[in-house]
């Protein structure tokens, strides 16, 4: 199994999930600006959109999109209990993956982190933060995780919250969200994945 990733990008969520499952995988770094692999190979034949993450399965199939890859990893390693078995709770997990992908990742953080986005676009995105992070604040008021226990949805949520300070979002405005982020930082799989990718990010900067 191979994970095509870029340091501190959304592919970090899959690395976290794989570490949680104690899974064996090769991690192949992608330069998402040049759309090349670390050795200069063209990345487009692997993903026509030139985006990470991409997961190559042991059978050679390629999967893209966090909302597809993360549940696949959870199902591949059921002993890690990264997704609920209950049908309704599984749907709740998919609901959160959809929320994180559309409302936080794409609607909020992509414009804020895009150096080419205009200031009106950034302001428009920033104005969305209150409602979306407020929703998380309410949900996390009496919860340690998004569901009853850590799941791949938490791996994805941590990954996008990790961009907050770089996007000019102060999580202190939503103390439960900030506390949640701080708790996840202490999780061994997250601490390891973040430390490793931070080193790679600094090395390429």
Describe the strand order of the beta sheet including 62-64 as a list of residue ranges.
36-37, 26-31, 2-5, 54-56, 62-64
Residues 92 and 179 in one domain: yes
Q: Which residues, in sequence order, are bridge partners of residue 37? A: 30
Is residue 182 located within the same domain as residue 91?
A: yes
Residues 167-200: b if buried by 16+ CB within 10 A, e if exposed: bebebeebebbbebbeebeebebbeebbeebeeb
Return all residues near 140 (Cβ < 8 A) that are at least 6 apart. Answer: 146, 176, 177, 179, 180
Determine if the pTM surpasses 0.85.
yes
Q: What is the CATH number of the domain that holds 169?
A: 1.20.1050.10
pLDDT, one tens digit per residue, over 12-59 is 999 999 999 999 999 999 999 999 998 999 999 999 999 999 999 999
Question: How many other β-carbons are positioned within 10 Å of the β-carbon of residue 112?
Answer: 20
* Positions of E strands within the chain: 2-5, 26-31, 36-37, 54-56, 62-64
Q: Give the model confidence (pLDDT) of 71-99 as tens digits.
A: 999 999 999 999 999 999 999 999 999 99
Same domain, yes or no, for 149 and 169? yes
Counting the structural domains of the chain, the total is: 2
Q: Assign 204 a pLDDT band (cuts: 50, 70, 90).
A: confident
69 and 104 belong to one structural domain = no
Are 68 and 107 members of one domain? no
Q: Quote the pLDDT of residue 42.
A: 98
């Amino acid at each position: 199994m191979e994970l095509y990733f870029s340091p501190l990008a959304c592919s970090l969520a899959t690395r976290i999930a794989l570490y949680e499952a104690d899974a064996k995988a090769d991690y192949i770094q992608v330069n998402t600006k040049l759309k090349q692999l670390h050795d200069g190979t063209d990345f487009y034949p692997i993903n026509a959109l030139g985006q990470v993450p991409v997961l190559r399965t042991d059978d050679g199939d390629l999967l893209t999109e966090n909302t597809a890859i993360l549940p696949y990893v959870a199902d591949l390693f059921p002993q890690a209990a990264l997704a609920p078995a209950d049908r309704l709770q599984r749907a709740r997990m998919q609901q959160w993956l959809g929320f994180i992908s559309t409302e936080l990742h794409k609607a909020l953080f992509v414009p804020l982190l895009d150096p080419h986005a205009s200031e009106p676009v950034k302001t428009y995105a920033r104005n969305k933060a209150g409602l979306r992070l407020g929703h998380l604040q309410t949900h996390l008021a009496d919860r340690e995780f998004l569901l009853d226990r850590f799941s791949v949805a938490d791996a994805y949520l941590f990954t996008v919250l990790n961009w907050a300070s770089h996007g000019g979002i102060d999580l202190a405005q939503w103390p439960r969200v900030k506390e949640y982020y701080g708790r996840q930082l202490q999780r061994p799989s997250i601490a390891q994945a973040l430390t490793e990718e931070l080193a790679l990010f600094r090395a390429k900067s």
